[in-house]
Amino acid sequence: MVGKANMDEFAMGSSTEHSAFGPTHNPWDTSLVPGGSSGGSAAAVSAGECLLALGSDTGGSIRQPAALCGNVGFDPTYGRVSRFGIIAFGSSLDQVGPLARDVEDAATLLDCIAGHDPRDSTSNPEPMPDLRHYLHRDISGLRIGIPTEYTQGMEPAVRDSFENAIGIFAALGCTIDRGLSLPSSEHALAVYYIIAPSEASANLARYDGVKYGFSDRTGATMWDNMEQTRARGFGEEVKRRIMLGTYALSAGYYDAFYLKAQKVRTLINAEFEEAFKKCDIILTPTTPGPAFPLGAKLNDPYAMYLNDIYTLPASVAGLPAISVPSGLTPEGLPIGLQLIGNFNDEGRIIQTAHAFERANGMANELPEV
């Protein structure tokens, strides 16, 4: 164990700027963010400070920093890795996974940490196949689906890299379906930003200064202490999420927000289920753009949230998804490609991502530091 990496407070963020310890910088260009919330892990891997790192992914927090730092980041099927001992953010979404320099390393680490754990009641009972068996396998005949809806905010360099990736899969003998439709995915951002804050507001209620973490005991009464503990102990973004979640769950709004979000979540899941009857892997860019400057989106929460627009649908559906480096922008910044697989189909994701990585030749590309 080399160390504990920096991250956004309670894993809420896409830039690691919401950390109580200060921001992490991107090793490819230190004026840029590394992504988040597991930005410290991604930066440590790409700076060569460690070979492997762990992250947690609720809506993109492994895949998005992996994309922005040129790593491989793998968010496995919901329940694959035990969450015993982890502080909960969005309990129906949280998942642990590896960040690594290449697909083989990511598969090796995931092999070590995956598996059923009776101490986590949401743990997936399906045995995880040995992922290393899926390396070096042919992918000809594999059906790749390209959803028509995942285009919002896509920058030209990302589009070029994505088109190049599609060409590589075609050259490897895959069949490409460019007409895949996942219309409800468009609402994944709205769904996520109701469900995740709602669950967070419940999960963080235990931080009342009595049993967990920071405690302010300067007030006259217990209630004063509790109020002060929460006012001083939580950062701005965490407070924003608690307020959003409390609002969405409150009497009179529950049906309009939380219940409706759950219904749309069911639609998103059903569309993925249909899609996986027609294809084996769904391909999208991981993020609409490359790493952005520190501070650029800090005061605009919505712009920050839009970074996760392509990673959120798989999170909402609990599906496994990996980000692999697909290329560099003209400025030399890494771009990530996302491969989404069906439930418990991590083997196929590793097989496909590894074949792509070998054909694309981007593995182990490190910034000059």
Residue 135 or residue 306: which is nearer to ligand GLN going by CB? 306
Residue 15 or residue 351: which is nearer to ligand GLN going by CB? 15
By CB under 6 A, tell whether 161 contacts ligand GLN.
Answer: no
User: Least distance to ligand GLN from the beta carbon of 281, Å?
Assistant: 22
DSSP sequence for 212-257: SS-----SSSHHHHHHHHHHHHS-HHHHHHHHHHHHHHSTTTTIII
Q: Is 314 exposed, middle or buried (0-12, 13-18, 19+ CB in 10 A)?
A: buried
Q: Near ligand GLN by CB under 6 A, which window of 10-18, 129-137, 246-254, 295-303? A: 10-18
Residues in contact with ligand GLN, total (CB under 6 A)?
14
By CB under 6 A, tell whether 60 contacts ligand GLN.
Answer: yes
Among 5, 12, 33, 81, binds ligand GLN (CB under 6 A): 12
Interface pattern 162-201 for ligand GLN (x via CB under 6 A): ----------------------------------x-----
Interface pattern 14-33 for ligand GLN (x via CB under 6 A): x-------------------
Q: How far apart are CA 114 and CA 273, in angstroms?
A: 24
Is the N-terminal amide bond of 315 cis, ω within 30° of 0?
Answer: no
Among 61, 229, 286, 352, binds ligand GLN (CB under 6 A): 61
Residues 93-152 that bind ligand GLN (CB under 6 A): none
Is 19 in contact with 26 (CB distance < 8 Å)? no
Q: How far apart are CA 134 and CA 340, in angstroms?
A: 16
User: Least distance to ligand GLN from the beta carbon of 58, Å?
Assistant: 4
What lies within 8 Å, CB to CB, of 261 at 6+ separation is: 190, 191, 194, 195, 248
By CB under 6 A, tell whether 58 contacts ligand GLN.
Answer: yes
Is 305 in contact with 14 (CB distance < 8 Å)? yes
Is 285 in contact with 337 (CB distance < 8 Å)? yes
Among 9, 17, 57, 105, binds ligand GLN (CB under 6 A): 57
User: Least distance to ligand GLN from the beta carbon of 313, Å?
Assistant: 13
Q: Which two tokens stand for residue 228?
A: 């002060």
Among 5, 11, 67, 322, binds ligand GLN (CB under 6 A): 11
C-alpha dihedral sign at 293, 287, 237, 3: negative
Q: Buried b / exposed e across 278-287, counting CB within 10 Å, b at 16+?
A: ebbbbbbbbb
Find the residue with minimal CB distance to ligand GLN: 61
List contacts with ligand GLN (CB under 6 A). 11-14, 37, 56-61, 89, 196, 308
